Amino acid sequence: MSQNATNIPPQYTLENIQNFKGKYPIQLWYLFSIEMWERFCFYGMRGMLAVFMVEMLMLQDGEANLQYGAIQAFIYIFTFVGGFFADKILGFRKSLFWGGAMMAVGGFFIATSPVEFFYIGTCFTIVGTGFFKPNISTMVGGLYKEGDTRREAGFSLFYSGINLGALLGGILMIYVGKYHSWSLAFALVGVAMCISIIILIFTQKTMGPIGLSPLDPAMSKKKKRTYEFLTYGASLAAIPFLYMLIRNMDNTDIFMLIAGPATLLYVFYEMTHHTWEENKKLIAALIFIAFSVLFWAFFEQSGGSLSLFALNNINHDLAGMTIDPNIVNNSSNSLFVIIFAPLIGILWIWLSKRKSEPNSAVKFGLGFILLAIGFYVFYSTVHFASEQGMTSLEIFTAAYLLLTFGELCVSPIGLSLMTKLSPGRMQGLMMGMWFLASGYGQYVAGLLGKGMSVPDENATAVEKLVSFTNGYHQLAIYAVIAGVVLLIISPLIKKLMGNVT
């Protein structure tokens, strides 16, 4: 808690915040709005990356998949860094300000010349997202007391905010970029992040002590400022290093081989400072994290191979309407989450009251099973294709509905688990680990996407269709295996989790 903790208005003490009435605290709606605009930027750019790299940077499909995977991987890897510095120096709120500012700069930078400044602007976005994403999720966890059964419903609502932003960004940015101006599309990133920062400025007082600097209140203001500015300077200094990594995939491969084991060793070191009861919960968290790597490696084909599949092989007809399949690819998942996430959250509460709610490991296992069914449906599109290699947008959209239900059994549950299974001083770190695992999932997703791509630049649409759908068939098999393993070991995981469900 920072030196400003004593100036908190009485109505916004932690006790008053956590003793809220009803299903959701008012602060959750503010964090919902702040995150919504940040996710507008993130998912809008995510949906544009592969298409932009193929159409404007003239990359082949395989190269675009690899590059997409590397960029997304570093975005999530930097959430580990952002979580670490929030825990140790900045606190969550200053991390949000800094991350939001970096993302805005990155968007405006690319907008000035998308082809020339794409990679350098992307580096700003990577660092900014790293400081923003894990820390706002941790603040959501701070709104709830330990054992509050409303926590997962809160994270499900928060997840709807993420996806409302993703829906708006996914539709608007891909449409503006493909049909009007890539510069304007990237400029929307800067505008949306400015809106997010303004909301944070005007609502932060309602957060009470949540998210304040963790530095010792007795530390001098000069020393605190020094630590903060060193953090800002180090994050800026990382940009040239990042640029070198994402422009050279060999460097990326080496980094990925080192970064994961090194951060895991640091987590093990931190665990030596905790009791066995705390460490059992951390071990459970690490099991969930390990499986999440696999989940995101499959699920994140949406921004890579599925984006190119939509570009090359999906027709423009959806229930009698003409619509760009890339817009569907970039927004249908978000639309489904907005519709179903609150309902799933209410379902968990209803089942909990009747002592019938499945534990988190079972939910994860079900998530993989649903993911497998979704990818089998993607595979099935090959049976509905024309002689020109074009296939059904309706079936493509139905597959996304199944992927969404799988995601709702994993992602909001995982966010909640990281706050419930981690001791207070490790919550930012473990949230960062959750997103670090997502980064590795993104990296593997790029490798899988490249493996599914036809290397011949003159390949026909039919050849691309067969190659991609065969790949989705394989992913369906792997996802089923992972889901069954999770269901089998769920009693062991439940035992490690103790009183956490």
> What CA–CA distance (Å, rounded) separates 143 from 207?
9
Total Cβ atoms within 10 A of residue 275: 10
Total Cβ atoms within 10 A of residue 215: 18
Secondary structure letter of residue 208 according to DSSP: T
Residue 483 pLDDT exceeds 80 = yes
Q: pLDDT by residue (tens digit) across 389-405?
A: 999 999 999 999 999 99
Stretch among 102-111, 230-239, 240-249, 338-347 having the lowest mean pLDDT: 338-347
Q: How many helices (H) and strands (E) does the chain have?
A: 17, 2
Q: pLDDT by residue (tens digit) across 426-469?
A: 776 787 788 788 889 988 999 999 888 887 777 888 999 999 99
Predicted TM-score of the model (pTM): 0.81
pLDDT band for position 191 (50/70/90)?
very high
pLDDT band for position 194 (50/70/90)?
very high
pLDDT band for position 5 (50/70/90)?
low
Please report the domains of the chain, with CATH numbers, ordered by start residue. 25-497 (1.20.1250.20)
pLDDT, mean of residues 399-417: 86
Return the SS3 of 29. helix
Residue 2's pLDDT is what?
41
Residue 139 pLDDT exceeds 60 = yes
pLDDT, mean of residues 167-196: 91
Residue 258 pLDDT exceeds 50 = yes
Q: 391 — phi, psi (to 5°)?
A: -130, -175
pLDDT, mean of residues 329-350: 84
Return the SS3 of 117. helix
Residue 239's pLDDT is what?
93
Element spanning 318, H or E: strand 317-318
Contact 480, 294 (CB under 8 A): no
Strands 321-322 and 317-318: antiparallel
**291 vs 358 pLDDT, higher one:** 291
Residue 3 pLDDT exceeds 50 = no
Residue 1 pLDDT exceeds 50 = no
Structure tokens at 49: 């990356």
- Report the percent of the chain where pLDDT is more than 90: 39
pLDDT, mean of residues 132-139: 80
Q: pLDDT by residue (tens digit) across 58-88?
A: 888 888 888 888 888 888 788 778 878 888 8
Element spanning 399, H or E: helix 393-408
CA angle 306, 182, 240 (to 5 degrees): 85
**Per-chain mean pLDDT for the chain:** 87
